[in-house]
């Protein structure tokens, strides 16, 4: 079983690279995020490896870190999530973003990945909500705002925007996540109406 490879990048494909390790070229499948973080051909890199053995093939998957590899494994514990879908999720979300989305039930964020529909997104959130790795850091913006929603200290613009979205039928965690994302884009001085409009865009994206 291969757990780590260190070698020279000898070539690229759409979803893989060829890693030359002492003259042996290994085909290593990676997420677009991982591939983009590499400098290019002839670079010396070290990749954490997940080896998948099937009856007709042996496939290597490469990651920047143990944490990313652990998420790759965890995601595939959900029925309907294979290697391709797991890599798609890791392509658009960092591990901390995944932790936040699952912890706060943000199915909309999960469904942004190619190949994941609403039902599968809901299943991922439901099955993994109690399995988020303890070492992952949930986005402090989500955490702080989620805590504030239970108190009277929540700024009125945020409170009103979240309440308006909840009244439209979305869950409070979804609305909280959408308003956090909206605040990051519009700034803390944004008015309630602007937050609601942006929040709806976040929920629909």
> Token match 């890791």: residue?
90
Question: How high is the pLDDT of residue 183?
Answer: 86
Same domain, residue pair 78 and 108: yes
Question: Which tokens in the block code for residue 45?
Answer: 């890199």
Question: How high is the pLDDT of residue 179?
Answer: 86
User: Which of residues 77, 99, 128 is at a domain's end?
Assistant: 128
Q: How far is CA 45 from CA 26, 42, 70, 78, 162, in A?
A: 13, 9, 20, 31, 45
Q: At residue 150, does pLDDT exceed 50?
A: no
Which one, of 24, 33, 155, lies nearest residue 86 by Cα?
33
Total of domains in the chain: 3
Q: At what angle do helices 192-204 and 172-186 cross, to 10 degrees?
A: 110
Residue 20 lies in a domain: yes
Asked if 116 and 124 touch (Cβ cutoff 8 Å), the reply is yes
Question: How high is the pLDDT of residue 151?
Answer: 41
Asked if 43 and 83 touch (Cβ cutoff 8 Å), the reply is no
Residue 133 lies in a domain: no
Span 48-97, pLDDT tens digits: 999 999 888 899 999 999 999 999 999 999 999 999 999 999 998 888 88
**Beta strands 24-29; 58-63: pairing state:** parallel
Q: Residue 9 is part of which domain span?
A: 4-63
CA–CA distance, 75 with 84 (Å, rounded to integer): 11
Q: At residue 100, does pLDDT exceed 80?
A: no
Tell me what the mean pLDDT of segment 120-146 comes to. Answer: 68
Same domain, residue pair 79 and 119: yes
Question: Which tokens in the block code for residue 116?
Answer: 């994941």
CATH number of the CATH domain containing 119: 1.10.150.20
Q: At residue 185, does pLDDT exceed 70?
A: yes
Where helices occur in 3-131 by DSSP H, the ranges are: 32-37, 66-75, 83-92, 95-103, 107-110, 118-128
pTM: 0.66
Same domain, residue pair 73 and 115: yes
Q: How far is CA 107 from CA 20, 56, 126, in A?
A: 39, 35, 9
Same domain, residue pair 43 and 86: no
Same domain, residue pair 144 and 200: yes
Residue 118 lies in a domain: yes
User: Which of residues 105, 128, 151 is at a domain's end?
Assistant: 128
Same domain, residue pair 70 and 124: yes
Question: How high is the pLDDT of residue 145?
Answer: 52
Same domain, residue pair 119 and 98: yes
Mean pLDDT of the chain: 84
- Determine which helix (DSSP H) or strand (DSSP E) holds 148, and give its type and residue range: helix 140-148
Residue 134 lies in a domain: no
Residue 135 lies in a domain: no
Span 9-56, pLDDT tens digits: 999 988 999 999 999 999 999 998 899 888 788 889 999 999 999 888
């Amino acid at each position: 079983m291969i757990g780590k490879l260190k070698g020279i990048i000898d070539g690229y494909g759409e979803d893989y690279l060829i890693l030359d390790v002492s003259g042996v070229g290994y085909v290593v499948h990676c997420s677009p995020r991982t591939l983009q973080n590499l400098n290019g051909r002839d670079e010396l890199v070290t990749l954490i490896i997940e080896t998948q053995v099937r009856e007709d093939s042996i496939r290597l998957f490469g990651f920047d870190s143990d944490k990313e590899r652990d998420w790759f494994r965890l995601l595939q514990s959900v029925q309907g999530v294979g290697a391709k879908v797991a890599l798609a999720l890791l392509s658009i979300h960092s591990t901390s973003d995944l932790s936040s989305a699952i912890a706060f039930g943000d199915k909309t964020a999960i469904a942004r990945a190619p190949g994941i529909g609403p039902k599968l997104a809901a299943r991922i959130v439901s099955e993994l909500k109690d399995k988020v790795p303890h070492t992952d850091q949930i986005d402090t913006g989500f955490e702080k705002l989620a805590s504030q929603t239970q108190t009277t200290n929540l700024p009125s613009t945020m409170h009103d925007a979240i309440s308006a979205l909840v009244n439209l039928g979305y869950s409070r965690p979804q609305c909280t996540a959408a308003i956090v994302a909206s605040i990051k884009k519009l700034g803390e001085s944004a008015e309630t109406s602007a937050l609601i409009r942006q929040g709806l865009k976040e929920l629909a994206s």
